[in-house]
Amino acid sequence: MSVGRITIRVRYTECDPMGVAHHTAYPVWFEMGRTELLRAKGTSYRELEAEGVFLAVFSLDVRYRRPARYDDSLELETRITKTGVAKVCHEYRLLRDGELLTTASTTLACLDADGRPRHLPEIITAGADRS
């Protein structure tokens, strides 16, 4: 599977009083990476939801190595690592000038409009490892 890449500029509102990006900003950035990876595959969250496909975060694991700071320009790499019948796993690498700041992974459950598990659409599973 290819790697999606986006650039993120750390905003003032995402930082603590010392100018360090707060840990709550990272899951938002990961969602941005997933959203753009979906666009690169030819769809969007909006289109999936219109078809009754909802992706809910089931698990999140983050490893903070170095802090991101206000006004840093960061590169986020996002990749699908595994798919199942009703789940999709992503890995993330957040870098500043090539230096690895953070690694993370998420597992998302694929749900219908009533919150019940449903099969992942082919557009998500295409090219991903199945488990």
Residues designated as active site: 16
Question: b/e for 61-99, b at 16 or more Cβ within 10 A?
Answer: eeeeeebbebebebebbbbbebbbebbbbbbbbbbbeee
Compute CA distances 93 → 5, 38, 128, whole Å. Answer: 10, 17, 18
124 burial via Cβ count (<10 Å: 0-12, 13-18, 19+): buried
Q: How far apart are CA 75 and CA 95, in angstroms?
A: 5
Which of 66, 65, 68, 73 shows the shortest CA–CA distance to 18? Answer: 68
